[in-house]
Amino acid sequence: MYKRKAVAQAVSFAVAYVAFGAAAMAQDTSSAPMQRVEVTGSSIKRATAETASPVQVVTREDLAKSGKGTVAEYLQTLTADGAGSLPTGFGNGFAAGSTAISLRGLGATSTLVLLNGRRMAPFARADDGQKSFTDLSTVPMEAVERIEILKDGASSIYGADAIAGVVNIILRKDFTGLVAKGELGESRYRDGEVAKGTLTWGKGDLDTDGFNVMTNLEVYGNHELMNKDRAGRKWIGQGDIRPWGYAANSQFAGGYITPGASSPTPTGALRDPKTGNYVSLPGCSQFSPVVNQDPAGGCLWYQDQFRSMQPNIDGVNLYARGTKNLDGGLQLYAEAGYSKRDTSFTLTPPSTSPTVAFPPNAASPTGVIAYGNTILMSAKHPQNPYGADVRLRYSMFDVGPSTRSVDNAFNRFVIGIKGQKFGWDFDTAYLHSMSKLDLNYSNMINMKVLQAALGNPSSPYFPYYIGTQASKNPASLYAAMVTNATSHSTTKLDIVDFKASRELMQLPGGAMGLAVGAEHRRESLDNPSLSGTADGSINSSYVAAKGDQNISAVFVEVAAPVIQTVELTGALRYDKYKNFSSTTPKVGIKWTPLKTFALRGTYSEGFRAPGPAEAGVESQSTGSSSVRDPVRCPGGVPAAGGATQADCAISIGAVKVGNPKLSPETSKGYTLGMVWDPLANTSLSVDGFKIRRENEINPLSYVEAAALPTAIRNDNNLVVNGVVIPNTGTLLLSNAPYQNSSFTEIKGVDFDVKQRVKLGDYGRAVVGLTWTHIASWVRAEKSGTRYQYAGTHGNCDTSNCAGTPKDKISLSASWDYSPKFNMTATANYRADMQNVYFAGDKCASQFANGNPAPGDCRLASFTTVDLSARYNVTRQLQIYGSIQNLFDKVAPLDPLTYGGMSYNPMDASGAIGRYLKVGLRWTM
C-alpha cells in the first residue's frame, strides 16, 4: 500500500513540476484578419481564444456526440466535477429536484454558473440548508452554442464568489431556420422512459437584415424508476445486502431490535417495562417480504420497498432572444427565459418516533423533541398487554409512503445595448431573474393528534390501531392525523451592469488592452420552512432561510503583450456588501516561445460573504450524514453492553443555525501549466492547480458533532456488568453550528490531449483524453484537526457522501466516415477510493463478521462506455441514437453513501443499466 501511494505521489508531483505554466495553442499563421472575441475569464476582446487561464470549451457538436440528454448530465461527466455535485436522482436531499455542478469538489456554491456571461437567480432552496447554487436544469440544451469552463476562478471579473471556477453557458444568438427534434429512451429493463421534443426557430441575418430573433421550446418527461425495479441487478437498489456479507441492520434497514432499542417496524414494537427491551407485535409477513427475519424478534424491512431511484419529471424550457442593429454601430438585444420543472420522489412511510429540531420557544426551550421518548401507547390501548404506558416503535405502513413533489418555476429577462463609442467596445444591460419553488410533502403526520390517538383514552381519536389491526381505524382519524406539508420559496436577482474595453497603446508585442466595468445587484431569498415544522408539530425538522443583500462592484482589467512572445494580464475588482468589502486581484502570464508551445500561469484571489442561510437570524436547518458513534463504536468496534454494528455507521442529525457573527471566506488560487502541439494534428495541455479557501464557512463537522457531550441520545444506555453507563444511548441528534473553519486546500493536475487522425477513404477520427488528478484535498477545522479526503469516501459533510476519487478520466473517440455519418464512443473512469471517512481513519463499513468492507476497505473503481451515432438521411432529416453504459456494467457495491441505495451516486449509470435513446432531427 505504501509503495502504491509513493508512486502515485511521485507521478503527481512530477506532472505538477512539468506544469510550470499553462500554455496556448499555436496561433493561426494566416494573414487573414481574425474576428476579435471575448473569452470567459476576460472582458477584453482579442484575436485568439487562448489566455493565461485554462479554459475547457464544450461545443454544440460535443454535446450532440455525447448522447447526454441535458446540460447537467454532460457537465457532471467532466473530470473537474467533484463532491457536492447534485445529480437528478438525489431525492432525499434538501435541494431535491435540482441539478448542479461542483468544480474541484468545493461545493456548488463556489462554482459560478453564468448564462451568456451573466448570472441567474439561484435555486430557491439551499443545498444542505446552506449552499446557494444555480440549477442547471433550467438551461435548454438544444439552444446551447457552447460551454466554457474556466478552471482557475474569475473572481476579479465576474464576482468574488467564483472561487472554484466559472461555467459560462453560451446560447445561440444568430440562428435562422427551423429545427424540430423528438427523442425517446428507455433502459434495457423497459423502464425509466424518457421523452423529449424541441422546436427551434430563428429569422433574420444581422448583416443583411439588421435583426435576428430566435426562440427555443423544449418539453420533456421522465418516468419514475423505483429501487425495487432493480431487484435482479445484484446489490443495486437493495437495502438488504446480507447476501454480500453485510449485517442485517444496514443504513436502509428498519424493524430490527437491539438491546433496549428498536427501529420503526410495520407491526409495531412495544418496550417491555420490566426488561427494557422491545417486543414486536405479530403479523410481520403481512408487511415485509424479507424471508430471513431478525433473530431478535423484530420485523425486518428495507427501504427499497418504497424509495425512488430516479424521480418522475415533467418539464418545459422556453428561451427567446432578439437582436436589432441600431444606427451608429449600436445593437439592442433582449433575452427571455422560462423554465417549469415538476419533480416527484417516493420515500418511506412516516414513523411514530422521529427526532425533530426547530427554533426554541417557550413550550420547547431546547428546540428539540425526541418523539420516541414522548409518544407512548396508553395502558388502556387494546394492543398494549403490559398494563402500563409503554414506548413504541412503529413505521406507519397503513398511512403509506411519503411523496415529495418539487415544483420549480424559473424566469430570467435581460435587456441591453452594446456597440462602439469613442473608441470603446461597451455592453450594458439590466437583468431580472426569479426562481419559485413549491414543495408538497404528502403523508406527513400531525404529531399532537398521533400522541393523543395512542396515549390519551379521553381523546376522540383514541385508540389508533397499529400493524395488523390498522384496518379498524376510521377515516376520520387519518383525516385528522395525516397532512400535507407545504412551502413556497422564492429567490430574486436584479442586476444593472456596464463594461467597456479598448486598445490603449501599442507595445512591442501588440496592442495593450484595457477593460473596465461596474455592477450593482440585489439578491433576496425567502425560503420558509414546511408548514407545521416551526414548533415541531409534524414529523420533519425546521429548514428555513431568509435574507437579502445589495452588492456593488467595479473592476479593471489589463492585457499587455509586453513582447511578441509574452503577454501579461491583470485584473482588480472591488465588491461592497452591507457589512463587508473586498478587493480581489488576478494576474496571469503567457509565454509563447514557439508557435506550437506555450507556458502560462495565474494567481487569483476570491471572497465570499456569508449567505442568508448561513448568517440570517431566521435561518436554521437539520441535515444528516453517516458517522461512527465515538461512544458506542470506539475505534470502529461496537462497545460492550449493547452496542451493535449499526452504531459504527449511524445516521446522525445535525442542527445548523444561522450565525450573524460569521466572517467572509477568502481564497487564493494558482495554476501553472503548458500547452503543446508536438505534431500537426496533436495538441496537449497540462495544468497544475492549487486552491486554498480560508476562514471557511462550515457547520461543525459531523465527526466532531457526534463526539459532543451535548449530543442528544436515546436512553438505551450501555450496561456493563450490570452497571448502566449514563449518556451512552443510541445517537440521535447534535448541534453543528456554522463557524469560520480554518481552511480547505486542494492540489491537483488537469491533463488534456487531442489527436486528429486522417483515415483516407474512411474519413477522419479524433481521439481525446481528459484526466484530473487530485493529489491532496485537505480540510482543517477550527480546532486544528486536519482531514485528508483525497482518495477517500469523504467528505461526507457534502452532498451524498459520494467521495473524493484521486483520478477521473474521460476518453473519447469520434469517427466521421462522411459528412453523413458520425459515431462517438466515450469511456468515463472513476478511480477506486478507500472506504474511510478521511485518510488514516478506521474502515467506515464492516462485514457481518467484523472484517473491513468492501474488500480491503476499498470501493472499486468504475468505468462505463457510452456510444452515440448520427446519420443524415437527407439534408433535412437526421436519425440519431445513443447507448449509455454500453456494456451494462454494474456499479460497485457502496455500503456507506446515502445518495444511492447500495451504489455511489456518481455511478448512477451503473445502477440504471444500459440505456438506449433514439431520435429524429428535422431541419428547414
Residue 47, pLDDT above cutoff 60: no
CB 495 within 8 A of CB 536: no
Q: Judging by beta carbons within 10 Å of its beta carbon (0-12, 13-18, 19+), is residue 29 exposed, middle or buried?
A: exposed
Q: What is the mean pLDDT of the chain?
A: 89
Q: Is the pLDDT of residue 192 over 50?
A: yes
Containing 487, the helix (H) or strand (E) segment is strand 482-507
Residue-level pLDDT at 711: 86
Q: What is the pLDDT of residue 40?
A: 62
pLDDT at 704 > cutoff 70? yes
Distance CA 364, CA 357 (A): 10
pLDDT in tens, 148-176: 999 887 667 887 678 888 999 999 888 99
Residue 815 near residue 777, CB atoms below 8 Å = no
Query: Which cell numbers hold the place of 266?
Result: 410495520
Higher pLDDT, 671 or 650: 671
Q: Which residue matches cell numbers 405502513?
A: 397
Instruction: Say what the pLDDT of residue 160 is.
Output: 65
Laid out side by side, the sheet with 620-627 consists of 620-627, 650-657, 731-735, 712-713
> From CA 108, how far away is CA 126, in angstroms rounded?
10
- Residue 619: which pLDDT band, with cuts at 50, 70 and 90? confident
* pLDDT at 893 > cutoff 80: yes
Q: What is the DSSP letter of 630?
A: T
Cα Rg of the chain (Å, integer): 29
3-state secondary structure of 439: strand
Q: Which residue has the cell 509563447?
A: 592
Q: What is the pLDDT of residue 32?
A: 36
Higher pLDDT, 127 or 201: 201
Share of the chain above pLDDT 90, in %: 66
Distance, CA of 17 to CA of 19 (rounded, Å): 5
- pLDDT band, residue 29 (cuts 50/70/90): very low
Confidence of residue 621 (pLDDT cuts 50, 70, 90): confident
pLDDT of residue 742: 87
For residues 769 and 825, give the distance between their C-alpha atoms in angstroms, rounded to a whole number. Answer: 12
pLDDT at 554: 95
Which of 565-579, 742-756, 786-800 is the least confident region? 786-800
pLDDT the model gives residue 38: 58
Q: Tell whether the model's pLDDT for residue 12 goes beyond 50.
A: no
Q: Phi first, then psi: what are they for 715, rounded to 5°?
A: -100, 20
End-to-end CA gap in the chain: 60
Determine the average pLDDT of the residues in 534-545. 93
Residue 411: pLDDT band with limits 50, 70, 90: very high
pLDDT at residue 26, rounded to an integer: 32
Of the chain, the percentage scoring pLDDT greater than 70 comes to 93
**760 close to 715: Cβ distance less than 8 angstroms:** no
At residue 107, the pLDDT reads 81
Question: What are the grid coordinates assigned to 237, written together?
Answer: 437498489
Cα–Cα distance between 333 and 118 in angstroms, integer? 14
pLDDT, tens digit, for every residue of 361-372? Answer: 888 888 889 899
Contact of 168 with 114, CB cutoff 8 Å: yes
| Residue 20: per-residue pLDDT | 30
pLDDT of residue 715: 84
Answer yes or no: is pLDDT of 655 > 90. no
Band (pLDDT 50/70/90 cuts) for residue 41 is low
In this prediction, residues 110-126 reach a mean pLDDT of 89
| Centroid of chain to Cα 824 | 27
Using a 10 angstrom Cβ sphere, with 0-12 exposed, 13-18 middle and 19 or more buried, the burial of residue 28 is: exposed
| Weakest-pLDDT range from 87-91, 512-516, 884-888 | 87-91
Over range 688-703, report the average pLDDT. Answer: 88
Per-residue pLDDT, 129:
67
Distance (Å, rounded) from C-alpha 844 to C-alpha 645? 11
- Antiparallel, parallel or unpaired: β 650-657 and 731-735: parallel
For residue 455, give every residue at least 6 positions away whose Cβ sits within 8 Å of its Cβ, in sequence order, or none. 375, 376, 377, 378, 381, 389, 462
Across the range 100-104, mean pLDDT stands at 87
Task: Inform me whether the pLDDT recorded for 1 exceeds 50.
Answer: no
Q: Which single residue is written with the C-alpha cell 503527481?
A: 12
pLDDT at 18: 31
